[in-house]
Each structure stands twice: as structure tokens, then as C-alpha cells.
Chains A and B, each alone.
Chain A
Amino acid sequence: MIGRASTEGLLRELAPQVLGALVRRYRDFAAAEDAVQEALLAAASKWPVEGEPDDPQAWLIRVAGRRIVDQYRRDDARRRREELAASWSIAPPDDPVPGRDDTLILMFMCCHPSLTPAAAIPLTLRAVGGLTTREIATAFLVPEATMAQRISRAKAKVKASDEPFTLPSSGTRTERLRLVLHVLYLLFNEGYATSSGPDLARTDLSGEAIRLARPVQAALPDDPEVAGLLALMLLTDARRPARTGADGALVPLAEQDRTRWDRDLIAEGVALIIELEGEMGEYQVQAAIAAVHDQSPSHAETNWGEILALYGLLERMTGNPMVTLNRAVAAAMANGPAAGLALLDGLDDLLGDHHRLHAVRAHLLELAGDINGAFAEFRAAAARTNNLREQHYLTTKAAQVKPMTSTDAVRPTTD
């Protein structure tokens, strides 16, 4: 649910509808997107002081439309003006197409195949999410000028593709939708991985991913993968309150205080996947796994057999060795550590020196009682991860499985 309590919430809700209306009228995504951003900034400073206009959407369309026309007037190219005048005359005065479809079309444009996720994500946040460049820059910890350039280059690429402002044709629709879902998934993961408790200065990227996924799901209610992704996000986000300790350290699933999980999000996520019919997709299977965890009273009472079967299904669908890693954990929980370790044996060639292979092997060796092996693998994983909190966790685990005695510790001589 998007609250109208604040101007900010209202502006973010209206942003894609206003942008959709302008792109339809002026047929210039890049210019319309700039104009909408300016109108949103104007509204954000004006409305809290002067009050909201009677029809906020119409106000934004009018102000953004004026900016776009001003920009065109400044444009020196005569040809450009002539083209534009021609396009005005054929554009219908009011567009009856509902905003929900515009949001979906904008999602397809922003998650364009010519863009890397690093470019598609900020563009989506600005054009569809209604966030300001500054907010996005802060969320990704880069200077505003750098982020502005990244968004502007992304728009130039979309523009160069010369795509009409309509839904992709049925031939490319499935593939394009997969890209939209992938971008939303990465955005969610970015937020989930970097969040550390209440951090008011940074935009909640996981929350943004969920907010952006909702209208996509509303527009495509029968698509099982869209519902699967939204469910996966809700079911994962439900655990967020328990995922970090007071000191900001990661709390693994087995040790989380399950009374802190968000029951409303769990209920909503479960309801989304229960209703699904037909062939299972990847996001759906991942959501089903998350649902099993979320509905288990404790880590020990988890139905590991079901989780093992679901990872087996996901492994056959994706062929992804990372999935095999997770299946090995489930196998160890269901059938003992030896079963899990046996599954890891084939992964060295596929995953090489990946930190997560070391981390999983370390956990399973610890379960099997091989203290020296677990210690070495936790250390190896800690040295290879690129995430600081993961590194702290793995270093601590290594120290816990094999506490150093004073005679073990090698002290450098300093004097």
C-alpha cells in the first residue's frame, strides 16, 4: 500500500502516470523524463508550504509539460521544432489509457536490453519510482553528478533504440519481462544486502523494489513468475527485522528470533504463491523455499526434506551451481553432513575458489565435527568474500570453531 500521508509518497505514486502522459503527448522519453523530474522537485518544495493542488496529477502534467515546451523553444534546431509541431497535431488531447499500463510500459523501457543492470536500476528508480537523482546517488553512495550522468547515458541508449511507447510485441514480451524481473530482483538484493537496521539517510532499496513490483503484478496478475518474484521479495523482507543484531552484525537464519519476523508480509507472500497454477518458474520455486522457512516454528523443525526437493527442482531448471550449494546445505540438514559434503565434491571445477563454496563446506565440516577442516574453510571464505559483514561473520566463525590458545597465536616481535 502506498500511503498518501506525505507529499513524497504522493509524488512517487504519481510519477509514472505523469511521465506516461507526457511521453504519449511529446513522444520523447528522455526529455519528458527530465521535465517530470523537475516538476517533482518543484512540487516537493512547493506543496508542503502552499498545500497540495486540487488535482495533483494535472498540476504535475501541466508544469512538466511547460518545461518540456520551454526546452524545445530553446532548442535551436528548426527541423526539430517542425517535427514536434507535427507530432502535437496527431497526439490525442486526452489519453484514456490507464496509468497502470503506462507504469508497465515504462518498466519495460527502463529495463531495456541495451542497458546493464547498473544503468537500468537507477533509471527505473527515477523514471518509474519518482526518486530524485540525489536520493538515488545517496542510496548507491556515489556523487550526484556521477549518478546524473549514469542516468542520462542510460536514457540516451534507450532513445537510440527508438522504441515506440507501447508494450513489447508478444514475440519479445516474455524475454523483456524476464529482464524487468531480473532488474527488480537485483535492486531488492542490493537493498537487502546493504541494509543495516534503521538507516534514515539511505533510501530503502528493498522497499523500493517491492513498491515497483506491485504495479507490475497488478498489471499482469496471471503471470506466475511476476507473482513469484513479488512473493519472494515479501517473504525475504519479512525476516529483515531479525537479520541483523543490535551491533549491525549478520544473524544467520538458524539463529534469528522468529518472533521478530513480519507476519503480515509472510501472509501476503504465501497467499500470492498459493493461488498460482501451471508450470513452476524460478522465482516461484525460490518463493516456495522462502515460504517453508517463514512458516517453520524453528530452524530444527524446518521441513528440510521439502526444501531439499525444491532446491532439486530449482537446480534442474537453472543448472546454476550456486543452487547446488544451497541444495547441499538442505541435504546436510535432511540427511546428515556427509550427504551435503558429497554434493559439494563436484562443484570445485564449476565454482573454483568462490567464497561461498568455502563457506558452505566450512559449515558442513563443522556439523561433521571436523574442526580443523572447518577452521581452514572459514578462513578461506573470509579471505575471498567481497562483503565486509560477511567477512566479519566468517572470521568470527573461524575463531569460534577453533579458539586460539596463547601458544597457538603467532605474535610478531615488534622490538
Chain B
Amino acid sequence: MRFMLLQNYGEVQSGAPPITEWRPGDIKAHIEFQGTLNDELVASGELVDAQGLAGPEQAKFVVSDGKSAPVITDGPFPESKELLAGYRLIDVDSLERAIEIAAKASAAPGYNGEPIRDAIEVRQVMGAPDPEV
């Protein structure tokens, strides 16, 4: 079963300030944690892909009617907290395992080394149907 674990900006329950206001050591620990978690998921045979996205400042919204020139909206956006920051695509045996990995990602070290408590969105990716019988 494949799941997308999605992380948004600003969905942080620990109330930590944005990462740009952290001490260098906290930032380093946070980034190292992400790399280590990815390595663990490769070693367990579960990682399909993991990417961080460029910041919301570079985000664009594109709307088109297919005829006239598309309408492009540049940032910064007042609702940038709802934008996607990054994702992990995992291939695991069960929903329980996906939740376990999401919980681990949510507890990444943040400001002052405290668990950041990111709200991780867990979404199953469409796959093969179950056996017919």
C-alpha cells in the first residue's frame, strides 16, 4: 500500500517559530533527522520518494480557461501556512505502519530541540484493487 505523507507550512502544534528564527544547531539537527529518517526507510525497503519543495515565496498559482493567457498569481500569499512544504511517498504493508512513520516524522526535533509536532497528512495513493475473491 502506498501512502503520501504531506507536510504543510505552519501546521505545527508545538507553537515553534518559523525555522528561519531557530539556532543553527537546531536547524542542523532538524535537517539531519529528515535525512536519517529517509535512510531508515530505504533500508526497510519502504521509501519510494521524498522531496522538500521550494519555499512559498517562489510559489505561483496558475489558472487558465485554455483559451486566453493564463492568470498567474505570485507570492507572497496570506494563506501560505496551507501550502505544501514537502512529502514522503512510502510503500508499506499497512495503514498502521504509515501512521507509525508519520508519527516519527511529526516528532522531528525543532526549536530548542523540542519535538516540532508537525501535523502530517496521511493519504493513501490509488493502487491495485483487492483480489476479486
Chain A contacts to B: CB under 8 angstroms: 116, 118-119, 140-143, 145-147, 149-151, 153, 185-186, 189-190, 193-194, 286, 314, 318, 320, 322-323, 326, 356, 385-388, 390-391
Contact = CB atoms under 8 A, between A and B. Distances in A.
Interface string B66-88: 00000000000000000000000
Interface centre among B44, B46, B129 (most CB of A within 10 A): B129
Interface string B101-133: 000000000000000000000001011111111
B48 A286 contact: no
A186 B131 CA distance: 7
A388 B45 contact: no
Contact of B133 (A153, A323, A385, A386): A323
- Report the interface size class on chain B: 20 to 34
Contact of A189 (B49, B124, B126, B128): B128
A325 to B, nearest CB: 9
Is chain A's interface secondary structure helix, strand, loop, or mixed overall? Answer: helix
15 contacts: A119-B45, A140-B91, A142-B48, A146-B41, A149-B44, A149-B45, A153-B44, A153-B45, A326-B132, A326-B133, A385-B126, A386-B127, A386-B129, A388-B126, A390-B129
B128 A322 contact: no
A388 B126 CA distance: 6
A193 B128 contact: yes
A189 B44 contact: no
B47 interface: yes
Contacts of A142: 48, 91
A150 B48 contact: no
Contacts of A388: 126
Contacts of B44: 149, 153
Contacts of B42: 143, 145-146, 149
B129 A143 contact: no
A197 B120 CA distance: 36
B43 interface: yes
Contact of B48 (A146, A189, A356): A146
Interface of B: 41-49, 91, 93, 124, 126-133
Nearest to A387: B129
Interface centre among B47, B128, B130 (most CB of A within 10 A): B128
A294 to B, nearest CB: 15
B47 A189 contact: no
Contact of A150 (B45, B124, B127, B129): B45
Contacts of A391: 126
Nearest to A185: B131
B46 A387 contact: no
A149 B133 contact: no
A185 B131 CA distance: 9
Contacts of B45: 119, 146-147, 149-151, 153
A318 B131 CA distance: 14
B93 A116 contact: yes
B128 A141 contact: no
A386 B127 CA distance: 6
Contacts of B129: 193, 385-387, 390
A314 B124 contact: no
A153 B47 CA distance: 14
A194 B128 contact: yes
Contact of A143 (B48, B128, B130): B48
Contacts of B127: 194, 386-387
Nearest to A320: B133
A292 to B, nearest CB: 15
Given A145-B42, A322-B130, A386-B127, 14 more contacts: A118-B91, A119-B45, A141-B48, A142-B48, A143-B47, A146-B45, A149-B43, A149-B45, A151-B45, A190-B128, A286-B133, A314-B133, A386-B124, A387-B126
A119 B44 CA distance: 11
A207 B92 CA distance: 24
A32 B43 CA distance: 21
Nearest to B2: A141
Nearest to A282: B133
Contacts of A314: 133
A135 B47 CA distance: 17
Interface centre among A118, A146, A147, A322 (most CB of B within 10 A): A146
Contacts of A326: 132-133
Nearest to A151: B45
A150 B46 CA distance: 8
B49 A322 contact: no
Nearest to B41: A146
A297 to B, nearest CB: 23
A323 to B, nearest CB: 6
B7 to A, nearest CB: 20
Contact of B46 (A146, A151, A189, A356): A146
